Amino acid sequence: MMKWKIAVTAIVLVSMSGSGTAAAAAPAASAVTTRAVSALSQAGVNLGSVAGVTTRDGRSETTGAQITSGGALAAPPASGGSREASLGVQPEAVRNESRIVSGSLAIFDRHDSAVAMSAENRAGYSILYDSGAPTDYRYDVTLDGRPAHLTLAAGGAVAISNSDGIVVDVFQPPWARDAHGVEVATRYRIDGGTLVQEVDHAGATYPVVADPRLACDLVFCTLELTRAETKKLANNALGVNGVCAIMGPVAPVCAVVVTGMWVQAKIAVGRGQCVGVRGVRAPVITGIHAVYTTCYA
């Protein structure tokens, strides 16, 4: 799966309820945040490190994304023409009791479930606390304030296109896992400009975490492997064609690069890192190369 990360700055708790003082709201906000972050950490999501990637020549690269005051993930996508469009991802679970943490994390609590929007990881996380949690999690996607055009793509990914039909970003294939790390069946469907992640969580051990995540920024698109995928690659047991499907026309090149990365994968496992594949997005992906990454999960 392709993953993007940026560095976390300060963590400041802000109430979005519009009533009461900050001091009065802090305990409730703290409880919401603690429960959500605990579930994310249990699922292996890395929210607290100084995130970034290091290429073979040692360069460190990050990207800029932020959480707006309304809780939407605002990210500059890859260029789709003469200028960059403004991409927004807004969970439909937004409620007045949402809590915003600095510019990096927004949490919307629904008691039996929650949605956390992470600017650090350019991702949304659906957190299912018990069997009463919904099976559908909806995200409104906009470009320049208007509904984006969404299309199901290879490997379960979803392409985000502008009015000219140019792909400006991609939601990577979804994953979901329960409290024991067991994979939970999940998939995307499209409802106009809304991305819907379906999570078949019946019989799972809670909490369950599900993840829709963006892949591209202004310059790069990155396929970042998880810890489990990096270990499989190190053991020559990873199905590279399926992993690279999201790279579109350059998937065969990606597959060749990933296949040859087993040595880097072994080094990464020994260092507690993960590996990934990066390409320049302008306007099609070129310059495929390997990177070491901080594991997101």
Res 235: pLDDT: 92
Measuring CA to CA, which residue among 211, 243, 235, 25 is closest to residue 116? 211
Residue 40, φ and ψ in degrees, nearest 5: -65, -45
Backbone angles phi, psi at 29, to 5 degrees: -65, -40
pLDDT recorded at residue 244: 78
Q: What's residue 132's pLDDT?
A: 95
How far apart are the C-alpha atoms of 144 and 142, rounded to whole Å? 6
pLDDT at residue 288 in the model:
85
> What pLDDT score does 49 carry?
43
Q: How far apart are the first and last CA of the chain?
A: 11
Average pLDDT of adjacent 10-residue blocks, the chain of 297 residues: 31 29 47 86 70 43 66 68 70 68 78 87 90 95 90 83 80 88 93 95 96 75 81 87 71 86 93 86 74 79
Is-contact 242 155, C-beta < 8 A?
yes
